[in-house]
Amino acid sequence: MKKIFVLTLIAFMAISSAFPQTIEDVWMNLRNKSVGKARKAIDVVMVGNENNADAWLMKGNTYLQVYQQDAERIAKDPTYVSRTPDAIVIANEAFYKAITLDSKIEPRTGMLDPISGQALCAEPIYNMGEKAMNNKDYDNAIKYFELAARDFKLAKQNTNAAITSYQVATLYKTKGDKDNYAKALKEVVKLGYPGAEPYLDLYDFYKEENDTVNCGKILKTALKSVPADKQADIESYELEYFAMTGQMDKLNSTCDALVEKYATSAPVLAMIANHLVNASEYEKAEGVIKKGLAIDENNANLNFQMASRYFFEAIVNQDQQDALMKSKEGSYSERAEKINELKAAQKPMLEAAHEWSEKVYKLNPNDAQNNVMLSQIKAKLLLPIPEELKAKVDSYRQ
């Protein structure tokens, strides 16, 4: 009798398993928290339903619950190993497929619509991207970040999408893929990244390509898109742009406006002075530096800018001397007299540069730029170069 019962039970199970699985079966299993049964059923259901949006939506819901169930188990037992480690990716792709087949598809009771489903997938997939990036698995990191960015965009979370797309851009840069790097940066800008970094990265890209037109355009976009309290770096690039394109009137007028705007910020005043020094506007740079030093006399960058202001003016003076020596205009004695006048004017410039550069050295003895400049100034003034300074400068050449 017992044997007959077992045989009957087996036969019943065989007959039951022979019935085709339906989307309703998957739905009921999920409603009953039978996630394992739902997964087996949806895998069967998908055969022949590759163009059925309802089936893909149910698959997304199923594999999302598989992922969530595994996550709960891992939280309780960190040694637990999931049999479906890519469940969240499967779920994500299923939700996306559903919405591409039917943008207006509605979920069954208790299930998620495709946008909500993808929104829930975004963060776990982003975390997978970070893990891959930390392991220097850049190809998979890009894949996961791109999936997460797509999810954030569909959920209209553009800030998160922009931040994630910026991760993609930095990875393409790391890989040396210039075309995809630029493409990703443009996407970040399009999404309205909340900081200056991607705009300036794109500016640097255009500058490297000698595309000054797009350099100007991206700076205008940045100034419109980035909050006012985060624009200082953009304004710094704008000064460089004016100098690069020979727009000296705009450089000077913009510097005047920025000095007024950032009158109490020593670091920003140092930045403005740097651009003026680079543009050979030495006297104007000195005025800005003095305003900054009145705020913070021990700001190393401001002191460095003052040293640079005199040092580079001395270099211009030297260039004039060299040009006169090669020139054939006027008599030899006339040229010699002018050269001596230039030399006489150059010495106090170098002495002033030395004084300020020495101060920078005391404030920050590891400033490589200042150390190199200081050693050059000492050499021009025929002053001894301390062994410590010489060792530092020598180390930069290695």
- Name which of 266, 221, 212 is nearest 242 in CA terms: 212
First to last CA, the chain: 91
The predicted pLDDT at position 20 comes to: 63
Q: Per this entry, what is the length of the chain?
A: 398
Rg over alpha carbons for the chain, rounded to the nearest Å, is 34
Whether residue 227 has pLDDT greater than 70: yes
Average pLDDT over every residue of 85-104: 95
- Name which of 362, 359, 358, 363 is nearest 375 in CA terms: 358
Do residues 307 and 275 make contact, with C-beta atoms less than 8 angstroms apart? Answer: no
The predicted pLDDT at position 15 comes to: 38
Rounded distance between C-alpha atoms, residue 185 and residue 166, angstroms: 7
Whether residue 114 has pLDDT greater than 60: yes
Rounded distance between C-alpha atoms, residue 325 and residue 318, angstroms: 11
Whether residue 10 has pLDDT greater than 60: no
Whether residue 118 has pLDDT greater than 70: yes
pLDDT in tens, 46-81: 999 999 999 999 999 999 999 999 999 999 999 999
Percent of residues, the chain, with pLDDT higher than 70: 95
The predicted pLDDT at position 18 comes to: 42
Average pLDDT over every residue of 286-315: 97
Do residues 145 and 171 make contact, with C-beta atoms less than 8 angstroms apart? Answer: yes
Check whether domain 298-327+335-398 has CATH 1.25.40, yes or no: yes
DSSP three-state, residue 373: helix
Whether residue 313 has pLDDT greater than 70: yes
Do residues 160 and 122 make contact, with C-beta atoms less than 8 angstroms apart? Answer: yes
Task: Please tell me the CATH code under which domain 195-290 is placed.
Answer: 1.25.40
Q: What is the mean pLDDT of the chain?
A: 92
Residues of the chain with CATH 1.25.40.10: 122-192
Tokens (6 digits) for 200: 């300036």
The predicted pLDDT at position 14 comes to: 39
DSSP three-state, residue 329: coil
CATH topology for the 122-192 domain: 1.25.40
Average pLDDT over every residue of 41-47: 93
The pTM of this model reads 0.79
pLDDT in tens, 265-290: 999 999 999 999 999 999 999 999 99
pLDDT-derived band at 233 (thresholds 50, 70, 90) equals very high
List Cα–Cα distances, 264 to 288, 293, 294, 296, in angstroms. Answer: 11, 10, 9, 10
